[in-house]
Structure 1
Amino acid sequence: MTASLPRDAAGATGATSPSLSVDDFDFDLPPELIAQHPAARRGDSRLLDAGSPPAWRDRGFRELPGLLRRGDLVVFNDTRVIPARLWGFKAAQGDAPHAQAGPALGGVVEVLVERVLADHRVWAHVRASKSPKPGQVLWLGARRPDAPEGALPPSSAPLFAVRTVGRAGPDDSLFELAFPSEPLALLDQYGAVPLPPYITHAPGGEDAERYQTVYARHPGSVAAPTAGLHFDDAVLAQIDAAGARRMAVTLHVGAGTFQPVRVSDLRQHPMHSEWYTVPEATAQAIAEVRALQVEARAAGRADAAPRVVAVGTTAMRALESAALAAEAEGAAFGTVLPGARDTALFVTPGYCFRVVDALLTNFHLPRSTLLMLVSAFAGMDTIHAAYAHAIAQRYRFFSYGDAMWLCREDAGTLR
């Protein structure tokens, strides 16, 4: 990784410096450090305190409340992971979508629902030997062959038919499918937990519980906001006891979060789009923190000022996207615009952060947009050294892995 870049005018709008390449965000990870299962209990993971480099501190996750200040605003992503993965078959030519007799089945298909729309429609990734055409019927609800008992419906469960509407999504990489009834209900009945591609076991009962935060509320994600997986009720209560406030945003995480960057020039990377909501109460709480920060800095007490702490990169992207939306409407720098929108914000070194002061995050994949985001936040040198330390100390990586505490590289400056 290279040294941190200056925050120039282009970076302030999220543009990427031409001097950066995907190779700047590569590292070697021993495969045995990729966590295949969560810690025995929530909160038992490790926490690398990289908030004051280069003095790394190896902590337990339950020490997190001790890193907070009174008045800090801790923002969680309260999205809920849906059982978005389905298996089934193409209908044989001429088979009707609502046939009463057993369907005539064709080739095998795998469907990963990316976004639930109105009118019983979804956007989805479809894997098949040949892409389905508009009007093609898919019979879904089959059991994955290597799934453990209880993870999916029995193989004798009736299949249900969906109709392919056509290509969908910003770059036509998805398919729009018409479900026969409410998609979320059908997914609850037939779907499987959409574990990341680097987790090799079939989803089971443990995953149904642990690949979900304890505070998940709004269904819509196909990947967990993994920094939140460490929290249990006891840690949340300790955050309250520390005098910090808890608020929420919702960002429905898409499968694109696992996509590696395949272009050398980062400016050519097509960032996936995700839907987010910032409640009015969260936007107001951030405005209150900002006012307290201005007062503290004027009084020479900046080190004691409350901070906005994002739990995970998804909470950060929602907040920063809402700040950019506010700027577009003429609001002051650092203002957060409440409401629901799409975001395709791609944060790389050079980006000027508007809202978030501290970040709790897991360890991310090489060459990934999330590694680029944390490098922009804490500085590329800091992240390079922190990851080297984590590998040397045998931290566990990725979704079921350990966590890291980071502070913004320019946190001492007035925004």
Structure 2
Amino acid sequence: MSVAPTPDPRQLSIQDFTYQLPPERIAPEPLAHRDQSRLLVYRQGHITDQRFHTLPAELPTDSLLVFNDTKVVRARLFAHKPTGGIVELFCLEPVAPHRAIELAMQQTGSCVWKCLVGNGKRWKAGPVQVEFEVNGETAVLTAERQEVAEGYSLIAFRWTPPTLPFAEVLRAAGHLPLPPYLNRADTDLDAVRYQTVYAAHEGAVAAPTAGLHFSDAVLAELDARGVGRATVTLHVGAGTFQPVKADHMADHPMHAEPISVERDLLQRLLTHAPRPVIAVGTTSLRTLESLYWLGAQLLREPQAAVAALHLTQWEPYHPSPAPTLEAALQALLAYLDQHQTDTLHATTQLLIAPGYTFRVVRGLITNFHQPESTLLLLVAALLGPDWRRVYDHALAHDYRFLSYGDSSLLLPNG
């Protein structure tokens, strides 16, 4: 599945990965039924047009689908100043007392988060508040700005009643962070449709949109056909919408995102090889490929076993001996044994661009992505120059684009 490597992916110009996307091709709303979206199937260079509910019949029967089971949190808060003005707070990631998203969502009473601030210039000082209801009772969330940094602010939250977990505060007081290009407020329909049917772990501020097409009926058909299913967790950050502003990719800082993977999946990947692993979405793909490089890191630097596991964006492009997938997965299992845990926690900045050699994944289910984005770079790494054929076909055949748009199944090796 790998494409011919470029001399150095860091020298790629993002301007070589663009296309004209008419505004009317961006889907503003979800379809009435999840699995009625269109499905472009690319198999060894051949393109066909299907509907998403036919996906199980299009997959190799011995494949393993890996889903990202993150759940989108209501991360947008509209707080009122004492003078009546509104300040928008977009919660990006927790800072204190916990940095781990799972612990931060269970925090009670108070916490500090890194946030984007809208109308921030009009917020000189002092607290702002959001009133909301929980179980028929009035509750209050208070926010104060502690520090202003480049691109974000540190916001201290406290709330009453203080026994509420922060997750429940956001559920009651917050709004879904729809993609900025939709340019509209979230609705009751979004509360259902901007989540996957299998979402389980709260922490994302953007949906893993490839999974939005799956219905319970499609999942049942996968099981009936013997297609394997497994999950990983990558909490999608706001960086997924970050445009590439640098002339060359070497100057683009890839955002870091937390991942969680269970021991059972590592063992399953070992026994499933060499049968195909297909990622549902770019976040699942980046998580799976990150596993290989985290394992390679442990093999190369055993001292990393006592430190927090982190994968930098250019790690796969350093010239060094590449271990087998089996060796990399075994290193991760040994790490879990050493730490007496069944869950692997790490962060990844992995940037997949043309020139990347895929180690785990053999296919991808994904939506159609924005021009000049890191997500489009990933698709180009998977398909090589054929990514243009795929996007030209989608544009010529009235496919809907971006988060609420249609889907594609990309199988370079058939």
TM bracket, shorter-chain basis: 0.7 to 0.9
User: Which residue number in structure 2 is paired with residue 137 of structure 1?
Assistant: 127
CA spacing shift, 1:23–1:141, aligned 2, 3 Å = farther
> Per the alignment, in what secondary structure is the counterpart of residue 116 of structure 2?
strand
8 Å CA contact 1:73–1:285 kept in 2: the answer is no
User: Which residue number in structure 2 is paired with residue 49 of structure 1?
Assistant: 41
> Per the alignment, in what secondary structure is the counterpart of residue 139 of structure 1?
strand
Q: Aligned ranges for residues 354-365 of structure 1 at < 5 Å?
A: 354-365=359-370
1:402 is the counterpart of 2:406: yes
C-alpha displacement at 1:87, in angstroms?
1.0
Equivalent pairs, count: 357
C-alpha displacement at 1:5, in angstroms?
6.7
1:391 is the counterpart of 2:395: yes
CA spacing shift, 1:289–1:5, aligned 2, 3 Å = closer
Q: Distance in 2 between matches of 1:127 and 1:344?
A: 26
Which deviates more from structure 2 when the two are superposed, residues 117-126 or residues 273-282?
117-126
C-alpha displacement at 1:23, in angstroms?
0.7
> Per the alignment, in what secondary structure is the counterpart of residue 43 of structure 2?
coil
User: Which residue number in structure 2 is paired with residue 316 of structure 1?
Assistant: 285
C-alpha displacement at 1:132, in angstroms?
6.4
> Per the alignment, in what secondary structure is the counterpart of residue 284 of structure 1?
helix
Q: Aligned ranges for residues 5-154 of structure 1 at < 5 Å?
A: 6-7=4-5, 16-18=9-11, 20-53=12-45, 55-90=46-81, 104-105=82-83, 107-116=85-94, 117=98, 118=104, 120-130=111-121, 136-141=126-131
1:200 is the counterpart of 2:183: yes
Question: What amino acid sits opposite 2:87 in the alignment?
Answer: V
CA spacing shift, 1:370–1:402, aligned 2, 3 Å = same
C-alpha displacement at 1:324, in angstroms?
0.8
Which deviates more from structure 2 when the two are superposed, residues 24-33 or residues 392-401?
24-33
Gaps of 5+ in 2: 99-103, 301-322, 333-342
8 Å CA contact 1:121–1:183 kept in 2: the answer is no
User: Which residue number in structure 2 is paired with residue 347 of structure 1?
Assistant: 352
C-alpha displacement at 1:106, in angstroms?
6.7
- CA deviation profile, 1:193-240 (whole Å, cap 9, x unmatched): 111011133211110000000000000001100000000111001111
Q: Distance in 1 between matches of 2:148 and 2:253?
A: 17
Q: Distance in 2 between matches of 1:183 and 1:126?
A: 19
8 Å CA contact 2:3–2:382 kept in 1: the answer is no
Q: Distance in 2 between matches of 1:209 and 1:183?
A: 21
C-alpha displacement at 1:241, in angstroms?
1.3
Q: 1:249 aligns with which of 232, 235, 242?
A: 232
User: Which residue number in structure 1 is paired with residue 153 of structure 2?
Assistant: 175
User: Which residue number in structure 2 is paired with residue 377 of structure 1?
Assistant: 382
User: Which residue number in structure 2 is paired with residue 165 of structure 1?
Assistant: 146
C-alpha displacement at 1:137, in angstroms?
2.7
> Per the alignment, in what secondary structure is the counterpart of residue 185 of structure 2?
coil
> Per the alignment, in what secondary structure is the counterpart of residue 29 of structure 1?
coil
When normalised by structure 1's length, the TM-score is: 0.80
User: Which residue number in structure 1 is paired with residue 243 of structure 2?
Assistant: 260
Q: Distance in 2 between matches of 1:5 and 1:354?
A: 12
CA spacing shift, 1:247–1:138, aligned 2, 3 Å = same
Gaps of 5+ in 1: 91-103, 143-151, 294-305
> Per the alignment, in what secondary structure is the counterpart of residue 35 of structure 2?
coil
Q: Distance in 1 between matches of 2:253 and 2:228?
A: 36
> Per the alignment, in what secondary structure is the counterpart of residue 182 of structure 2?
coil
When normalised by structure 2's length, the TM-score is: 0.80
Q: Distance in 2 between matches of 1:76 and 1:167?
A: 36
8 Å CA contact 2:3–2:357 kept in 1: the answer is no
- CA deviation profile, 1:288-329 (whole Å, cap 9, x unmatched): 112xx2xxxxxxxxxxxx211100000011111121111001
CA spacing shift, 1:397–1:310, aligned 2, 3 Å = same
> Per the alignment, in what secondary structure is the counterpart of residue 299 of structure 2?
coil
8 Å CA contact 2:68–2:231 kept in 1: the answer is yes
> Per the alignment, in what secondary structure is the counterpart of residue 185 of structure 1?
helix
Question: What amino acid sits opposite 2:169 in the alignment?
Answer: L
C-alpha displacement at 1:69, in angstroms?
2.1
1:366 is the counterpart of 2:366: no
CA spacing shift, 1:387–1:109, aligned 2, 3 Å = same
User: Which residue number in structure 1 is paired with residue 303 of structure 2?
Assistant: none
Question: What amino acid sits opposite 2:147 in the alignment?
Answer: G
Q: Distance in 1 between matches of 2:152 and 2:231?
A: 29
User: Which residue number in structure 1 is paired with residue 319 of structure 2?
Assistant: none
* Larger relative helix fraction: 2
> Per the alignment, in what secondary structure is the counterpart of residue 347 of structure 1?
coil
C-alpha displacement at 1:128, in angstroms?
2.4
Q: Distance in 2 between matches of 1:126 and 1:346?
A: 27
